A and B are shown apart, each in its own frame.
Chain A
Amino acid sequence: MKKMITGNRAAALGSKLARAQVVAAYPITPQTKIVESIAEMVARGEMKCKYIMVESEHSAMSACISASATGVRTFTATAAHGLALMHEVLHWAAGQRLPITMVNINRALGPPWSVWVEHTDSMSQRDTGWMQVYCESNQEVLDSVIMAYKVGERADVLLPTMICADAFYLSHTSEPVDIPEQKKVDDFLPPYKPKYKLDVDDPHGFGSLSMPHQWYMELRYQMAEAMEHAKKHIPEVEREFAEVFGRRYRAIEPYRCEDVDYVLMGMGTMADTAREAIDRLRSRGEKVGFVRLRTFRPFPVKELRALARGIDRLGVIDRSFTFGYEGPLFTEVKGALYGTPQPPEIRGYVAGLGGRDITVETIEDIYRRLSKKKWKGEEEWIGLKMEKR
């Protein structure tokens, strides 16, 4: 059934349809409506779950970790500072191999205080062992919550997933979303039945000490292998989702990239704007396409290499930055394409920090820069107000 709902509402509905059993969450702009929506659904008896109203995001994730270890499906949501506050235990969730799903509304980190969109918050967590997807629509947010459990709960994966959605553009903007029927979701996503859990009838210890000579490094290697398994299972689940629900998602989603010399790349809601810009540019005869990167962890090396074959230049747009170096997407794309025969020239652009708007003109400007013959070799910051005396 199609309804006009916000990204926050989509996230909450995704958790309800996925039958999350324990939710522990703390409010933070712009995610507050997710927790309020869940609280309402629980109060009305529409969602059978225990909602723990924790006192901080660190506690939210800590509660989810222990609840998940007790063998139930868990969900939480946060943004920016809340995500940063739970950083310590994000490592714990992945290290303990718990398939928690979290919606992160991408918001800039202060100071200065900003509630608007930026990807630095989730980019900062890319080392934690969480799978990451970046959504460009409210539909995708809802669908991704359901798919995340299906991938994460596999015995050979058992990793948590962070579903990233741009602040306000998705969280607070209403879009038409096809809300799947509960029965269809139940058939697609069976109940969570882990082999090991906190159980007085089968006692184990979870998370204790491990020595240098054994087995810490092996357990970490096991996690790396789990990500490799995820790389295989994510497209399988995406295909199955398309068969059941009629919507197909991919790790990277190229737009009009056939027979082009140049391709622009970005994540999140800028994709929609970029596609508009691509149409305009192409109507003027420019040979350019756009690719949206959806799955950031595990990083889609194979798919990027396949895309990059035969293009001359790739312009990566970062909505985040790693101070002292460059935008993380730029770095990672370069790394993925290093060593391939005839890789494209890769240029980087930083745009849209702190919620600064990425418009069609912004994308056209980036294309102009990508088209210039010479390039300083450094990532360029777009749209700065740089008047000087």
Chain B
Amino acid sequence: MRYDELPPGPITFLPICDAQRTGTWRTFKPMIDHKRCNHCFLCWKYCPEMAISTDITIDYDYCKGCGICAAECPRKAIRMVRE
């Protein structure tokens, strides 16, 4: 962005997902065993990064590795693996 492209004042207009991939924050990576997964949507529901989609795939560009999905999965289908 150039100076002459600045809006009048601090007014945001771009989505932050374009600016940073928070996946780099991770130490542990969630790995889903789709054979155990019963599509209960709990991991999708509780993910604070919105990094799990409704078809239960993880967007590793943004997953911060908090582990909530693994902790909440009733089928123990998600393992946190150190990267």
Contacts and interface: CB of A to CB of B under 8 A. Distances in A.
Contacts of A97: 8-9
Interface stretch (B10-18, B29-37, B63-71, B75-83): B10-18
A70 to B, nearest CB: 13
A196 B3 contact: no
Query: Interface centre among B1, B3, B9, B13, by most A CB within 10 Å?
Result: B9
B12 A219 contact: no
A97 B1 CA distance: 20
A158 B9 contact: yes
Contacts of B13: 204
A205 B7 CA distance: 12
A207 B11 CA distance: 6
Contacts of A210: 10
Task: Report the contact-size class of chain A (Cβ under 8 Å from the partner).
Answer: 10 to 19
Contact of B6 (A95, A195, A206, A222): A222
Contacts of B1: 215
A158 B3 CA distance: 17
A32 B36 CA distance: 71
Contacts of A201: none
B6 A196 contact: no
B5 to A, nearest CB: 10
A207 B12 CA distance: 8
B3 to A, nearest CB: 6
Contacts of B7: 196
A201 to B, nearest CB: 14
A226 B10 CA distance: 14
Contacts of A208: 10, 12
Contacts of B3: 218, 222
A155 interface: yes
Nearest to B12: A205
A148 B1 CA distance: 32
A155 B10 contact: no
Interface in A41-84: none
B8 A204 contact: no
Nearest to A155: B8
A139 interface: no
A207 B8 contact: no
A295 interface: no
Contacts of A206: 9-12
Contacts of A219: 6, 9-10
Interface string B21-60: 0000000000000000000000000000000000000000
Interface string A199-221: 00000111110100001001100
Nearest to A197: B11
A205 B6 CA distance: 14
B8 A158 contact: yes
Contacts of B11: 196, 204-206
A96 interface: yes
B28 to A, nearest CB: 28
B22 to A, nearest CB: 16
A97 B6 CA distance: 13
Contacts of A204: 11-13
Interface in A73-118: 95-97
Nearest to A156: B8
A218 B11 CA distance: 13
Interface of A: 95-97, 155, 158, 195-196, 204-208, 210, 215, 218-219, 222, 226
Given A95-B9, A97-B9, A206-B10, 16 more contacts: A96-B9, A158-B8, A158-B9, A196-B7, A196-B8, A204-B11, A206-B12, A207-B10, A208-B12, A210-B10, A215-B1, A215-B6, A219-B9, A219-B10, A222-B3, A222-B6
25 contacts: A95-B9, A95-B10, A96-B9, A96-B10, A97-B9, A196-B7, A196-B9, A204-B12, A206-B9, A206-B11, A206-B12, A207-B9, A208-B10, A208-B12, A210-B10, A215-B10, A218-B3, A218-B6, A219-B6, A219-B9, A222-B3, A222-B6, A222-B8, A222-B9, A226-B8
**Can you list the 10 inter-chain pairs with the closest CB atoms, starting with the nearest?**
A97-B9, A205-B12, A97-B8, A196-B11, A158-B8, A204-B11, A96-B9, A207-B10, A204-B13, A208-B12
